[in-house]
């Protein structure tokens, strides 16, 4: 009985910790983003120098001190869920977690087009994995249930979307749902969500929208958003996968031989895109997406395409940082463009359809896509159009990118059987 209560107390502390650290991480990232925009206010050309140097520094630190912290963080958690994973303790270690936090903040400080939600998934999973080892939970729970719970709580606390956190764990992280894990995931998400609610209040990530879409001709926008978002999301994912596998030719050889120089070159390209977008493609894109949803027409018409390019360049550079928030922002830009084709469709409706379509196209997780957008906009009237657009987008995305992005990238963190069998002296 004492052991059982000890485990419950430790578990409760871990769940609260996920919520608290997610909030603190969000505050620090927002501060870093604000500092970068103060730099922009001095001169929009300063990123041409600062961003390449910053990217080079981040990749140097990542490769030399925090291996395993690069990229989103979601692939690392997926890799750690592999039944025979030998890298779980490495990918979910305290060192990698601290590196993930510090280097993602640095990414915001230097203008990277990244999000904090993917990193929060790795942070949440790391906390719960560590708690499981500390409290000596049963091996099955520690290996999978607690990691899934921490990842789900990370999404729930980062976006303030508890239902999306649960769906994310089921659909994206595990691609299955086992009843044995259900209470662990639900309780962790609830506790982390309550922690966030207590400190930040009840809010919708992008505010509350009331747009509706009448059934009939207006649903043509659902089909078009689904097709375009799916095609573009699939192309984005395919490019990331191909670059991650290693490009052929001289460019690929140069990237592998000089990763820090390549990161600096990516930083320069990102700064040039920032100039072309009037400074709107830096950071997570939260402010820009919210402005579009609120009806602000001041953003450039090509914002969506430029945000896609900025996010792609930021990710392939090798710096830590997520793609979930930038993907939603880019999708909002695409929806904004599509809205001009349909004069009878409310602008806000087309924008959130663009968000869900491109997000579903990139992740190939349509249920997570429509639930997360529905919760972030507090718009339940649009649930059927959002569902339809998300599933159309997934089908279109699969035609271009047959394998899901995060699971494919996660495979890169799992050593091959040949590598496992190689003796240390043979390496």
312: CB partners within 8 A, 6+ apart: 236, 239, 240
Q: How far apart are CA 371 and CA 387, in angstroms?
A: 8
**Residue (of 235, 395, 257, 394) closest to 311 by Cα position:** 235
Architecture of domain 2-200: Orthogonal Bundle (1.10)
- What band does 132 get if pLDDT is binned at 50, 70 and 90? confident
Contact status, residue 287 vs residue 335, Cβ threshold 8 Å: no
Half-sphere exposure of 329 (CA within 13 A, CB side): 29
Phi/psi at 354 (5° precision): -65, -40
Query: What pLDDT, on a 0 to 100 scale, did the predictor assign at position 424?
Result: 41
CA distance 270 to 313: 7
pLDDT at 16 over 90: no
pLDDT for 179: 44
**Mean pLDDT (whole number) for 162-175:** 72
Report which of 416, 347, 375 is spatially closest to residue 82, judged by C-alpha positions: 416
Query: Could you give the CA distance from residue 45 to residue 394 in angstroms, rounded to a whole number?
Result: 39
Q: What pLDDT, on the 0 to 100 scale, is given for residue 187?
A: 57
pLDDT grade for 427, boundaries at 50, 70 and 90: very low
Looking up tokens 């493609």 gives: 281
CA atoms of 351 and 310, how far apart (whole Å): 20
Compute CA distances 209 → 69, 212, 294, 347, whole Å: 36, 9, 8, 11
Per DSSP, the three-state class of 142 is: helix
Which candidate, 362, 357, 365, places its Cα nearest to that of 385?
357
CA 69 to chain centre: 14
Residue 390's alpha-carbon distances to 144, 175, 325, 330, 399, in angstroms, are: 28, 17, 17, 15, 15
**What token pair was written down for 305?**
């395409």
Distance from first CA to last CA of the chain, Å, rounded? 48
pLDDT band at 180 (very low <50, low <70, confident <90, very high): very low
Residues in CB range of 350: below 8 A, 6 or more apart: 221, 225, 335, 336, 338, 339, 342
Query: Is residue 48 classed exposed, middle or buried when 0-12, 13-18 and 19+ CB atoms within 10 A define those classes?
Result: middle
C-beta separation of 75 from 413 below 8 A:
yes
Task: Please tell me the distance from the alpha carbon of residue 117 to that of residue 94, in angstroms, as a whole number.
Answer: 18
Report whether 133 contacts 340 (CB < 8 A).
no
326 vs 198, higher pLDDT:
326
Superfamily of 217-404 according to CATH: Clc chloride channel (1.10.3080.10)
Mind listing the pLDDT tens digit for each residue in 18-45?
Answer: 888 988 999 999 999 999 999 999 999 9
Residue 405 clears pLDDT 50, i.e. is over it: yes
User: In the predicted model, is pLDDT for residue 5 greater than 60?
Assistant: yes
Model confidence band, residue 423 (pLDDT cutoffs 50, 70, 90): very low
The pLDDT of 10-25, averaged and rounded, is 83
At residue 70, the 3 state secondary structure works out as: coil
Give the 3-state secondary structure of residue 415: coil
**Mean pLDDT, residues 369-376 taken together:** 86
For the chain, what is the mean pLDDT? Answer: 84
pLDDT of residue 203: 47
Q: Are 382 and 222 in contact (CB under 8 A)?
A: no
| pLDDT (0 to 100) of residue 1 | 55
pLDDT higher than threshold 90 for residue 58 = yes
Q: What is the pLDDT of residue 147?
A: 84
| Least-confidence region, from 251-265, 302-316, 372-386 | 372-386
Q: Tell me the average pLDDT across 195-200.
A: 58
Among 349, 369, 371, smallest CA distance to 361 is for 369
Residue 145 DSSP label:
I
> What contacts 167, CB < 8 A, 6 or more positions away?
367, 368, 371, 372
pLDDT tens, residue by residue, 203-258 = 445 555 656 666 667 788 999 999 999 999 999 999 999 998 887 788 888 988 99
Average pLDDT over every residue of 115-125: 91
- Locate 133 and state its tokens: 């080892």
Contact criterion met (CB below 8 Å) for 120 and 164: no
Query: Domain extents for the chain?
Result: 2-200, 217-404
Sign of CA dihedral 155, 160, 166, 170: negative
């Amino acid at each position: 009985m004492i052991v059982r209560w000890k485990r419950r107390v430790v578990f409760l502390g871990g769940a609260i910790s996920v919520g608290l650290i997610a909030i603190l991480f969000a505050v620090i990232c927002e501060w870093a983003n604000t500092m970068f925009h103060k730099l922009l206010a001095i001169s929009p050309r300063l990123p041409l120098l600062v961003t390449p140097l910053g990217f080079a520094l981040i990749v140097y630190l990542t490769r030399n001190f925090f291996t395993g912290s690069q990229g989103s963080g979601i692939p690392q958690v997926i890799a750690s869920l592999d039944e025979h994973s030998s890298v779980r303790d490495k990918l979910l270690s305290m060192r990698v977690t601290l590196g993930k936090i510090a280097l993602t903040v640095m990414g915001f400080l230097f203008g990277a087009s990244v999000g904090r939600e993917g990193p929060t998934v790795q942070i949440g999973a790391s906390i719960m994995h560590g708690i499981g080892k500390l409290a000596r939970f049963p091996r099955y729970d520690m290996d999978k249930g607690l990691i899934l719970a921490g990842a789900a709580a990370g999404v729930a606390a980062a976006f303030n979307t508890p239902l999306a956190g649960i769906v994310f764990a089921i659909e994206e992280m595990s691609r299955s749902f086992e009843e044995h894990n259900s209470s662990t995931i639900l309780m962790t998400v609830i506790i982390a969500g309550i922690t966030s609610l207590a400190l930040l209040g009840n809010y919708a990530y992008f505010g509350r929208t009331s747009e509706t879409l009448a059934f009939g001709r207006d649903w043509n926008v659902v089909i078009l958003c689904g097709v375009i978002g799916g095609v573009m999301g699939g192309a984005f994912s395919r490019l990331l996968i191909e670059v991650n596998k290693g490009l052929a030719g001289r460019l690929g050889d140069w990237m592998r031989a000089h990763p820090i120089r390549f990161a600096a070159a990516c930083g320069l390209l990102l700064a040039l895109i920032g100039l072309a977008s009037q400074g709107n493609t830096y950071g997570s894109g939260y402010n820009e997406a919210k402005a579009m949803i609120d009806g602000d027409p001041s953003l450039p018409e090509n914002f969506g395409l430029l945000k896609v390019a900025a996010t792609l360049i930021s990710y392939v550079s090798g710096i830590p940082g997520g793609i979930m928030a930038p993907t939603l922002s880019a999708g909002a830009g695409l929806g904004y463009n599509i809205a001009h084709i349909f004069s009878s469709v409310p602008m806000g409706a087309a924008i959130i359809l663009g968000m869900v379509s491109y997000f579903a196209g990139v992740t190939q997780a349509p249920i997570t896509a429509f639930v997360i957008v529905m919760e972030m906009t507090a718009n339940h009237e649009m649930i059927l159009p959002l569902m339809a657009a998300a599933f159309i987008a997934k089908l279109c995305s699969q035609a271009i990118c047959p394998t899901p992005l995060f699971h494919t990238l996660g495979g890169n963190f799992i050593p091959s059987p040949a590598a496992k069998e190689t003796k240390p002296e043979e390496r």
